[in-house]
Structure 1
């Protein structure tokens, strides 16, 4: 029995060592395979991200271009409106000037008529 215990311990240690070595080799293979697959997946993800990023940049550029065109159109419209408002103001000022002159003329005519009447009355007396 004394000889059997050391042999049993030796066989148990050898079996444990073999199982541990096989487990470690399997883990290394899985890690290597996982890294290779992970790198492929990572590169695919990076490619997709890059494509999405480029598409987003192009979309932003198109939106910026459209926004600039809209702003230009709005500025042109505002300039046209300002020009129309100024023309309307000039027309109103001209109309006001004409009305003012007409009132002055009517006032002067009324004064002339009164002066004529006064003169006629003075002659009659």
Structure 2
């Protein structure tokens, strides 16, 4: 019996050690699983935030493009208005030139008429 007690104590200690080791490994696996689950949640949140940032960036880019298009249209309208004003001023200059030419011709005709009238009177 004396030999049986130490063997029994040895086997009990070995069993206790095995049970304790298995328990610790199980706890580590659970922590790892919980850690992976938490990591997975963090990755999901990061992915959602990334997608939201991309969406807002796309919307912002679209708004910027629309603003640029609007600005280009405004500039085109302004350029068209400037060209129209230039064309009108050129037309006004042409009209003024024609008016001066007509007045000059009328003056010449009047002088010619006066000359003709004077020649007839003499």
TM, length-normalised to structure 2: 0.61
What's 1:58 paired with? 55
1:73 CA drift (Å): 1.9
Question: How many Å separate the matches in 1 of 2:100 and 2:21?
Answer: 117
**1:46 positional shift:** 1.0
Q: TM-score, normalised by structure 1?
A: 0.60
Indicate the larger mover: 57-66 or 23-32: 23-32
Q: Deviations over 1:63-120 (max 9, x none)?
A: 1221222222222222222222222222111111110001111222233334444555
In structure 2, runs of 5+ residues without a counterpart are none
Partners of 2:120 and 2:108 lie apart in 1 by 18
Residue 115 and residue 75 in structure 1: after superposition, are their counterparts in 2 closer, same or farther (change >3 A)?
A: same
Quote the offset at 1:25 in angstroms: 8.0
Q: How many residues align?
A: 122
Structure 1 stretches of 4+ with a deviation exceeding 4 A read 1-33, 116-125
Q: Evaluate the alpha carbon distance shift between residue 53 and residue 26 of structure 1 in structure 2; reply closer, same or farther with a 3 A threshold.
A: closer
Question: What's the offset of the Cα at 1:24?
Answer: 9.8
Q: Which moved more, 1:99-108 or 1:113-122?
A: 113-122
CA distance in 1, matches of 2:36, 2:3: 54
Unaligned runs of 5+ residues in structure 1 are none
Distance 2:103 2:71 in 1: 47
